[in-house]
Structures are given as structure tokens and as C-alpha cells.
Structure 1
């Protein structure tokens, strides 16, 4: 498969592994009595924030939507073109080094995107998907690095979004009316049917009922004959009814076996109607399938009727003034989520901007009674004053009088990036809470979320998984040693194997082999990911 090369690529391909792990520090909770909302808004560099999500969310995110910088060269539009943002420039200098001084605009953008996409890939569930909004400036390059990270075979579609309906008086050559939305799967083999709910304009045709109504709802009649130009001789055959031999003008939609089975089994899914000297054959198309799921409609690769101006107007209504340039319409993002997410999906946006993704999730939950969760990451200072504030107003409701919009309900926690787990000398940072350290250790060993053992007397016991017991014998005020005395005092949980972290170990090798004890030295043997 062809791959893309640019200045600095070799420095960023595995850079996601070198990003320091920082803990998340909760700043406040909004609209929740439990004090532990599963919705998160995180302020901070999204590269570090994505890394901080790994212990809890690796392989758990069901859907990702991002609207990254388009790299248009417009230095005044910080959010959608922040490849020259001071924080990004500083990061590029530290990561790429001296050759970063020669980077073109495209090199910078690719260096910025690659490690972030690698972490997003790690966070995505095996049956998860990612949507990425982009325009023509980086569309071609983005496709190539997505093919490299996610696999070309996992491309589902590239949507063309018609973002505006006209204008272009200032265009020198061609009036540009569209952007793109790249759509990839983590594993396309795990992606089932992608459907949208049926339009109200279509529902009116489902006006008949039969004995299956309770299970399958109303039905409409559809012609069994098709005018398809495909040459399918096996679909050309007579259907016999009341002594009549009925042939299609072109061919039938169903195979002969399927029709005969429906007739022999007396399945009332076929209806015959006499018209003058000919017959029409219709089949019943029910609103619901055998499992009771409502029949959806297919998505088209061309997305029309939802324009940028709608997003701008919606945000102006929420805040009562213009505060953000060209936010994505919530209807567009909601349409994407509606097509692929389930009521319990976790949805991530690491370029959160004005908070459109959370707005779409909250709207969709209110509409279908779902319990989808959102995680937003925004590095700019407006993460609280705009991103979180928008979500607050959507939850509570906004506007007044005839323009009042009812709140969706919901809650979220607001977080900032805290200290790094390791200090500059590679030791555990004592400023980090012990619970965060333990969570990290458990995740590094098991790649699962840590749940503290309940009512367990062993203070250093982390938990057990697959017949392995994990111990982290650590005390910030003194060195710990794994010896006979500490072994009998601290390692008491029965298991087939023991993984024990401590500062030192004095146990004989033979004893450790006999009892399947694996010693790991703090901090040397703590996995960095």
C-alpha cells in the first residue's frame, strides 16, 4: 500500500508512546447529584488528554467525531487553523527538533495529526467508527495517513457535505460549496447495517394493517416486479394465481424459490390485483423487521440541506451574539451519530470547539431516550466559557418567549490536565494521588479499567485477573522491599501467579519460580505507554 512521507514523519510515527501520561483533575460537576458524571469536558492539549483517557477508555469508545484544523493558511481563525498556534509550534519544536524549522504548512499539519490519530485508534472499540471533517487543503493527505493507521480496507465512505447554497462572488475560479467527512471503521467486518430513521414523509405510506401488526407494525405495498436493467435470467419466471400465468415486464425482485415458499406457506406477504387484462403482484413491506426494529433509510454519500449558516445561527441563539466562527451545524453531527450509534454509545470529540458534539449527543438522547455519553477535549481558554457554557445552556434550555428552547437534561464533569505520573528523572511523581497511580499500574498490566477491591485487608493488593494477583507495594515516604517478612504480611491472596511491584526484592530466585512470583522494580519496570 502506498504511504505518505513528509519532513518529521519518523519523529512522530511512534511519538504517541512518548507522550507523558498526565492525570485528569476534576474542576467541577454540573447538574449531577452523584458527583460522578460519565460525561466529560477536558481542557488541555488533546494529545496529552487522549493519553490520559487510556486507562479508562482504551477500546471502549464507540464513535469519534473530530473537526481538526483545516490548515487553510488563515492565521486569524485560531480554532480551525491552529497549526501555527503557539502551543502547537512549541510541541513541534520539541518533538521534531531542528528540522522542524524547515517544515512546510503541510508537514506541520501532518506532524500534528499523526500521533493524535494513533491515540484515537487505540481508544476506539473494535466495532467503533470515526468521522473526520476536512476540506480540500488536507483532504488527500488525511486519506493517506488514515489508510496507514486505520487500514484502507476499513474506509466506509467519504461524504461530500454541501455546506452552503450559493454565493461565491469573490471566488476567482470556481465557487466551492462543499467539504468532506471521512468515515472509517476500526474493523469494517464488525460494522452492520447503517440506517437512519425513516422520514415522516415516508411513514405516511405505511397505512395498512394485518394480523402481524402487533409485532411488525403497519405495512405498505411495493411492486414485486422491477425495472432494473440488470440481466438476471433467474429472476424471470411465471407466477401462477387463480389459473393465470403472470410474467414480469422485466424481472421480479424475489427469487422463484422465495415466491413459491411464500405462496405454499400461505404467508400473506404477497397480494395480487387484477388491472384490466393484466395482473400486478405486490409484496408487503412492514415498518418493522422480525425483531421489532423500525425499518430505516440508507444514508447517501452526498449530504445536503444542512448548511454552515444553520450552525452559526444556532450558536447565536444560544449565546445571544456571535462568539464563534463557522461552528458545525448540530443537525449535521447528529445525523452522523443517528446513523451508527446505539443508545449506550460513548462518543469522543478531541477538537471540541464550540461543543457541537455534546449538543448533538444531548439532542439525540432526548429524542430517542438514549443514554449516550460524550467526552470533549478543547485546549483553548474558551473550553469553559464557550464549550462548557454551551453544554450548560443546552442542558437547562435557552432563549425566551416564542424562541425558547427546552433543555435536554443531562450533566457533565469539567476536567483539567493534572501533573504527569513520572517526574523529569523518571520517578513516580509524589504529587499524583495514589489512586491515580494504582489505576495506571492496573491498566498497564491488564489493559482494563481498575476498580478498587472492596473490603480487602491487604493494603497493597490491586486485584486479580485470570488467576493472576497484582500487588503494588509502594510508599512515598520510604523504600519498600519484597522479602520473606513482607511476602507473608502483604501477599496473601491465593492465585496461580503473582506480579509484585516494590522498590527492592530479596527473595531467592528458586522461591519465586516455585510460587510463580514475578518481581517488578519501582519505577524501572513500570510500563510507559
Structure 2
């Protein structure tokens, strides 16, 4: 597979591992207590801070990164040189991949300036076989008459899955029930007829020779897909399908000739697969998005919002209620607002001050039951809540010392994630963090064994090991983190213990 190369690519790849871990500091809760988070801070640092708690848990990621259009933006520095833009995007994509669930998907909006480079870059990060679709969103409703050359009407939405476990949801479709005027006694359903003979383009015999074959009519005569003008056509179905699904065929005799139809049944909840062309009549356009923001904050309209209907379509395809949604370029807060109204859990990350001036007020109005955007469509009447957080201090300083503000459960979450790649699913209250693949993991820190002296209980000694064996026994390999060990290497080997010193072994790993 070809790879994209640019100046300082190796530095960009290495920067992912070098991103320091920061603590998340909860500032205030709005509305009812919930799992929803709005984080103000650099999204690269925030994504790394989320890893120990959310790795592999996010069902849908939507991001609308700066487009690198070489034009001035009030809220973003979008005027980046091409290689700088790629170096900005790459480490963020790597961390987003780690947060994505195995059956999850990531959706990225971008225009033609970087779309094709981004496609190759995402092939590298997510794997080319995990490319799902390139959806085209019609972002305007008319041409720009002042455009020089072409008037651009669309943006790209690149869709990648974490693995083959991702399956897009079907979308609802309308059926005109008046057209379904035939009744099937066996199926107990109304249906309409659709010609089995292919019509329109590629409907000739030479277009699909294998689709030219006879079908036996009720009177045992042979019916061929001959067009009304007498030329040879073809069937829609393969011969094996006709044999296997003959009960779905209708034979109608007109003017001494048999015509064959496929039964299309009237469904109670008809669906269709999602298409890749998204017209603005269906999912909104840029002007609609700005009007939505104006209704919420007419003093300072955000430059590049996305319409709520666009995010609604994405979440309909990619998620179900209670799934976790992440947007690390939250902007004006559209993703969080739509997720809130649709009953999804969400995490939104925004660096600028408009995390406070735009996102918080918008989500407060959502909680109050505002009726803009998709509210009426989804029956939104208010409720719920979210927590506003900021990035706190680094978990480890430049010398490798642990931040004194880190408590045992937080460091335990880091250790568990480092060792297993999994997020924490519980509140750690004992030195035994859990067992993964037959290996038990322990952490001696912050006086977890009851000794509240600064280094009390943080050192692996024979008495401490006896306590661990008595109260948290494990018959198999153990990994024990602590300040230092005073047990010899031979004893550690005999007990199947791997000792790791904190904080150094954490930072190295």
C-alpha cells in the first residue's frame, strides 16, 4: 500500500507517544449529573488524557478539522502550510483510533484542498480495508455567482471503520401505500409489481448475457426477457434467484403474452441502505447552520458550523441510543447538541474560549428544551446534563515524578491501560487492579494498604508481598508496580513476579 510522505512526518509519528498525560479537572456540572463531558483544552492533550478511561469505548467519532483553505478564520488558525497541517492531523487520528470501539466508525468532513491527502493518510492510520465511504454533502443551495472558475457545492465526509465489526444502520424510507394495491394471501401483505425484466440502462442481452434465460410460465411455456420493441433484453435476477424465490414472482398474461413481475411488499417500517450523496434538502446546508447558531447567539456567529440535520444523519447511521459519541473539534457545539437531543452520550473537546461563549450556552439551552435544529423532529423537550472540564496539570513532570495531585484510582487507571490497552471499567479501591490473560496487576501507591506515611506501603517488601498473597491471591504471573522493591531477583522469579518501578516504568511504556 502506498504511503503519504511529508516534511517532518517521522517527528509527527513520534509525537503521539510523547504527548504527556494530563489530569482532567471538573469545573462545573450543568443540569442533571451525567456522563456527558465538555472539555476545554488542546485536543491532542485531551485525547491522551481520555485514553485510560475511554480506550475502545467510543462508537462514533465526528470531527470537522480546519480545512487548510489559506483563508483567515476568526476562531481557528486555518492558514497552515500543507506539511504542518498533515503533522497536526496525524497524531490526533492515531489517538482517535485508540479511542474508537471495534464496531465503531470515524467521520471526517473536509473539502477538496486536503481531502485526497487525508484519504491516503487515513488509509495508513486506520488501514485501507477499513475505508467505508466517501459521502458527498451538498453544503450550499445555489452557485456562487462571484466564483472564479468552478463554484464548489460539496464537502467530503470520509468514513472509516475500526474493523469489520462496524455495520451502518439502515435509514427509514417512505412508501406510498396507495401504490401497494395487490394482496398476497400467503404472505398476508399488500404489494406492488415491479417488472422482472431490466429496464433503462444496461438492459440489453449483450450487457449481461447470463441474465438471458427462459422462465417457465404457469402454462409451462417459456418466457424470455424480450422488450416491447422485440429486441432481446435481460432479467434483473440470476436464474438461481428466480428458482429459489419463485413465490415472489407474479405472472400476468396480456395479449396472449406473459409478463413477469417481482412483488414489492408494503412494510410497516421500511428502510434503505445509506447512500453516499447527501443533498442539502435532506441534511441541511451552510446557511441553515448559521441561522441555527444566530438563533442561539446572534452577537457572535461562528464561521463554519455544521447543520444539526447533518449530524443527525451521521448519528442515525453510526449509533444507537446511549452509544458514546466524540468530537474533538467541537466548534460551536453542534455534535454535542445533536447527540444530547438524540439520547447519545457524548464527549466534546474545544480549545478556544468559545467552549464557554458558544458551547456551554448552547448546551444549556438544549437542557432547557430549545426547539431549534432537529428538536421538533426528534421530539426533544429538554432534560439531561453535562460536566464542564478543563485540562489540569501533567500527570508526570519533566523529571518523571508523579504529580502529587494524582490519587490512587487515577494512577491505577493509567497503569491498567498501559498494561492491558483497556480502559478502566471500575473504581479502583484495592492494590489488585485486575487480571488480564492470566496475569494479575497490582499497584502500591498512595498508602493503599492503609499506611498513610508518604512512602508507606509503596515499597514491595516480604511483609507487603505476604499481605498481597493473603488478601489478593493469584495463582499465576503477577505484575507489581511500586516505588521500589526490596525482594531479590530470585525470589521475584520464583513467585512469577515482574516488578515495575513507578513512575519510570510507566513513562517508558
- TM interval, shorter chain, is 0.7 to 0.9
1:471-509: CA deviations, max 9, x gaps?
A: 211237126321211111234322112211111212232
1:389-436: CA deviations, max 9, x gaps?
A: 212212322269xx9995354332222112211122101111123221
- Note closer, same or farther for the CA distance 1:460–1:194 as it changes in structure 2 (3 Å cut): closer
1:283-334: CA deviations, max 9, x gaps?
A: 233455xxx9743244133544332111111222234555212311111122
Alpha-carbon distance, 1:528 to partner: 5.1
1:357-390: CA deviations, max 9, x gaps?
A: 1233234x2xxxxx43221111111113311321
Is 1:466 aligned to residue 437 of structure 2? yes
Gaps of 5+ in 2: 227-232, 448-453
Tell me if structure 1 keeps the 8 A contact 2:130–2:161.
Answer: yes
Gaps of 5+ in 1: 85-103, 366-370
Tell me if structure 1 keeps the 8 A contact 2:400–2:507.
Answer: no
Tell me if structure 2 keeps the 8 A contact 1:195–1:340.
Answer: no
Alpha-carbon distance, 1:527 to partner: 4.7
For 2:326, the equivalent position in structure 1 comes to: 348
The structure 1 residue matched to 2:257, chosen from 278, 282, 290, is 278
How many corresponding residue pairs? 483
Cα distance in 1 for partners of 2:41, 2:218 equals 71
For 2:239, the equivalent position in structure 1 comes to: 256
1:153-198: CA deviations, max 9, x gaps?
A: 33233222221122423323332222222222223x4344663221
For 2:451, the equivalent position in structure 1 comes to: none
- Note closer, same or farther for the CA distance 1:378–1:344 as it changes in structure 2 (3 Å cut): same
**What is the TM-score with the length of structure 2 in the denominator?**
0.86
Q: What secondary structure sits across from 2:505 in the alignment?
A: coil
Tell me if structure 1 keeps the 8 A contact 2:48–2:95.
Answer: yes
Cα distance in 2 for partners of 1:155, 1:192 equals 13
Cα distance in 2 for partners of 1:298, 1:450 equals 34
For 2:171, the equivalent position in structure 1 comes to: 196
Is 1:517 aligned to residue 497 of structure 2? yes
Cα distance in 1 for partners of 2:410, 2:185 equals 58
For 2:230, the equivalent position in structure 1 comes to: none
For 2:309, the equivalent position in structure 1 comes to: 331
Cα distance in 2 for partners of 1:18, 1:57 equals 19
Aligned pairs (5 A) from 1:331-410: 331-363=309-341, 365=342, 371-398=343-370, 406-410=380-384
Q: What secondary structure sits across from 1:343 in the alignment?
A: coil
Alpha-carbon distance, 1:252 to partner: 2.3
**What is the TM-score with the length of structure 1 in the denominator?**
0.83
The structure 1 residue matched to 2:96, chosen from 103, 120, 127, is 120
- Note closer, same or farther for the CA distance 1:296–1:343 as it changes in structure 2 (3 Å cut): farther
1:72-128: CA deviations, max 9, x gaps?
A: 22234323xx246xxxxxxxxxxxxxxxxxxx7212212211111111122122332
Aligned pairs (5 A) from 1:131-280: 131-187=107-163, 189-192=164-167, 195-198=170-173, 200=174, 205=179, 210=184, 219-227=191-199, 228-229=203-204, 230-249=207-226, 250-263=233-246, 267=247, 269-280=248-259
Cα distance in 2 for partners of 1:207, 1:406 equals 36
Cα distance in 1 for partners of 2:150, 2:264 equals 45
Tell me if structure 2 keeps the 8 A contact 1:235–1:253.
Answer: no
Cα distance in 2 for partners of 1:466, 1:151 equals 27
Tell me if structure 2 keeps the 8 A contact 1:158–1:182.
Answer: yes
Cα distance in 1 for partners of 2:491, 2:186 equals 70
- Note closer, same or farther for the CA distance 1:298–1:136 as it changes in structure 2 (3 Å cut): closer
Alpha-carbon distance, 1:50 to partner: 0.6
Cα distance in 1 for partners of 2:316, 2:186 equals 28
1:203-222: CA deviations, max 9, x gaps?
A: 664566656778xx754433
- Note closer, same or farther for the CA distance 1:420–1:211 as it changes in structure 2 (3 Å cut): farther
Instruction: List structure 1 segments (4+ residues) > 4 angstroms apart after TM superposition.
Output: 201-214, 403-406, 451-454
Q: What secondary structure sits across from 2:504 in the alignment?
A: coil
Is 1:310 aligned to residue 288 of structure 2? yes
- Note closer, same or farther for the CA distance 1:355–1:210 as it changes in structure 2 (3 Å cut): farther
Cα distance in 2 for partners of 1:151, 1:406 equals 38
Cα distance in 1 for partners of 2:266, 2:495 equals 62
Tell me if structure 1 keeps the 8 A contact 2:108–2:159.
Answer: yes
For 1:15, the equivalent position in structure 2 comes to: 15
Q: What secondary structure sits across from 1:441 in the alignment?
A: helix
Q: What secondary structure sits across from 1:30 in the alignment?
A: strand
- Note closer, same or farther for the CA distance 1:170–1:469 as it changes in structure 2 (3 Å cut): same
Cα distance in 2 for partners of 1:408, 1:271 equals 51
